[in-house]
Structures are given as C-alpha cells and as structure tokens.
Amino acid sequence: MKIFKNQKIGMACILFYVILYLVWSLKAFVLNPVLSQVIEKDSVLWYLVSDGIIKNLCWTLPAVMLIRKFDDDLFIRKQELFQFPKEWKDFLLVFGGVTAYCILSSVISHHGFYFNSDGLTECIAYIFVGITEEFVFRAFLLNATLTEQNQKFAVGINAVLFLCIHFPTWIIHGNFISNFANFGFISIILLGAFFGWTMLKFRSIWIPVIIHTLWDVLVTLLN
C-alpha cells in the first residue's frame, strides 16, 4: 500500500519525525534538568517556557513551515485545514460525548464527583499541547500520508507514532514499563486514532486541537 504521495514528502515526514524525536528526547533528558535549576518545575512559568515557548519552536513552527511547503501534496490543503468547519451540530456531539465520557469515568472511579484543584496549574500546559501535538501529528504527518484508499492504515500508523513520542517522558517519570504492563499505552493509540478521525471527519485541524485540549484538561482535573 502506498504511504506517501511522492518520495519528496515521504523523506520530509521521516526526517522531521526522527529529528523531532531526537530533539524532544534531548529536551527531556538534558534540557529539563538544566531548566529546573533556573525555573521551579511544574510552576506557571515552567509550563509557559517548556510547553509554550520551547515546544512551539520545536513542534509547531517546523510543522507549519512544512505544511506551507508541501501544501500541494497534502490530503487536506492548508486553506481548508486551518478553517473552522461549519458542522456545528456534529462538533457539539463529539465535544459533548468526550466531556460526558470523562465525567462518567471519573464518577465511577471515585464513587462520586471529584475535582483535582492541584491540577489547575498543569492545565496551562494543555493550552499549548493540543496545538503543538495536533499540528505535528495530524495537520502534517497524518495529512501527508493520507489518500482516499489508505485512510484507516494511515490513521493507525499515525497513532503508533503518536504513542512513541511519549516514550522519553514516560522514561523520565519512571512509568514506561507500567504503561505497557497495565496496557495504558493502548489508550494513547486509541486517542491518536480518535484525533486523526476528527480531523478527517471535519477536515479542520482545529477540531482535534480543541478535543485534545479538552481531553487533557478533563483527565487532569477529574482524576
């Protein structure tokens, strides 16, 4: 099955992912310890610098540049990709479904309503995470591999790549093995596929950005 429309965009996708993975690993293992000596970890300033400035420079900026460069080869062209869709009813159904699922899961898990106020500061990071990760993985990498014939395959491969980018963070936090032992990694693959589906459904990057941000915020505050 053909993955890329042409060799040029294929090489761009592979190089971008490999370089991003290496840079992000260096950031996790080398830069973060240095940065934590200057800025209090998990503070508002930490999230603004780490996820707001550094992550946007490493993730969003290159992704946008590649989208502009390879616009003619993308499945969803940039003009349509960056527009907010008109299907408000369908969007509200997805938005409401995600919200209801997170609330219900939290209520069942905690045997009642639970709110983690300690997670409010962390939610600052998610303002940027939805944009950075969706621009890289869905707006460019998935968009560059999609054809009319390979959509399920492309979404699946993209979800696995999305999983792999989490490995450096899991290693740092010491939960790499546990995320596989308890099958937590499956939820990341399913989320990656779900975000990919929302982009295909609405043909706009802003829907997976919003849904991704909503998911991270609700999971943090309700668990």
Supply the DSSP string of 131-160, one letter for each residue. HHHHIIIIIIIIHHH--SS-HHHHHHHHHH
**44 within domain boundaries:** yes
Helix or strand or coil: residue 86? coil
pLDDT score of 1 more than 70? no
Average pLDDT over residues 151-161: 96
At 25-34, the pLDDT tens digits run 999 999 999 9
At 106-142, the pLDDT tens digits run 999 999 999 999 899 999 999 999 999 999 999 999 9
Q: Looking at residue 81, what is its pLDDT? A: 97
**190 within domain boundaries:** yes
- Please give the Cα distance from 86 to 102 (Å, whole number): 26
Q: What single-letter DSSP state applies at residue 85?
A: P
**1 within domain boundaries:** no
**144 within domain boundaries:** yes
What pTM did the predictor assign? Answer: 0.94
Q: Looking at residue 94, what is its pLDDT? A: 94
At 48-73, the pLDDT tens digits run 999 999 999 999 999 999 999 999 99
Number of domains in the chain: 1
- What the block records as the tokens of 15 is 């190089």
**2 within domain boundaries:** no
Range of the domain at 73: 7-222
